[in-house]
Structure 1
């Protein structure tokens, strides 16, 4: 696994930090398969608890092919994050090209039942040592 920089976005007092990593051992470029893992940390900077209830990802490969992913929670959970606390999880993304990008949002609900969207920062998926492609 190759560590890379963190990407961050803050919306309505919720900080989302993402660190993508290329997984060479799970990738097979000869077969047209490149795999990345990404670690997400969600920090609640507000005065009240929030619950992550849904996710939306837009994944774009180097050919401009777009895949939308929507669903309840993350990794099978709908975590409640207390004020000052954080929640972390890891997931992955296979692509049919050697680079791509991801961006998205989480739907959260606060302790008053108010729903709001939180931005997941756009981040690049690039094979280390390869020529960078702007997506």
Structure 2
């Protein structure tokens, strides 16, 4: 149950799943390709529209790339209360492991904008860490 002090930013759950794409990667060319699937779950009592995304992608050498843009995969989905939205995309980094993190900007029907944190998640080839 949502209380009056709860904001949509606290009640949107972000889940991630990452896969290494071996056939598109080239270890000798420092090209490591990953796909990721994001699930956004609106647990607030408000209808929210995803307006934009901001990513910070960091490889194992500390190189950082910032990616910003409207929506996700060409869409700006609207999530009713209790609804989920899932999409898949990808990232290419120069090392066998790295991280991604960032935030979505969403707005409610009243036009209020909310910054929804995307917790840091790892990009790594299988069995790289024992």
Q: Same fold (TM over 0.5)?
A: yes
**Aligned-residue offset at 1:11:** 3.5
**Aligned-residue offset at 1:20:** 1.0
Flag the structure with larger Rg: 2
**Aligned-residue offset at 1:47:** 1.1
Q: Distance in 2 between matches of 1:11 and 1:123?
A: 19
Unpaired segments ≥5 residues, structure 2: 1-7
Q: In the TM superposition, what whole-angstrom CA distance separates every residue of 1:101-120 from its partner, at most 9, and x where no partner exists?
A: 00010000011110010010
Q: In the TM superposition, what whole-angstrom CA distance separates every residue of 1:1-44 from its partner, at most 9, and x where no partner exists?
A: xxxxxxxxx94211111111111111111111000000000001
2:23 alignment partner, SS class = helix
Q: 2:127 aligns with which of 105, 120, 129?
A: 129
Q: Distance in 2 between matches of 1:69 and 1:49?
A: 26
8 Å Cα contact 2:56-2:65 kept in structure 1: yes
- The total of aligned residue pairs comes to 123
Q: How does 1:46-125 map to 2 (within 5 A)?
A: 46-125=44-123
Q: How does 1:13-32 map to 2 (within 5 A)?
A: 13-32=11-30
8 Å Cα contact 1:33-1:96 kept in structure 2: yes
8 Å Cα contact 1:20-1:39 kept in structure 2: yes
**Aligned-residue offset at 1:126:** 1.0
Unpaired segments ≥5 residues, structure 1: 1-9
**Aligned-residue offset at 1:129:** 1.3
Q: Distance in 1 between matches of 2:9 and 2:110?
A: 18
With normalisation by structure 1, the TM-score equals: 0.87
With normalisation by structure 2, the TM-score equals: 0.91
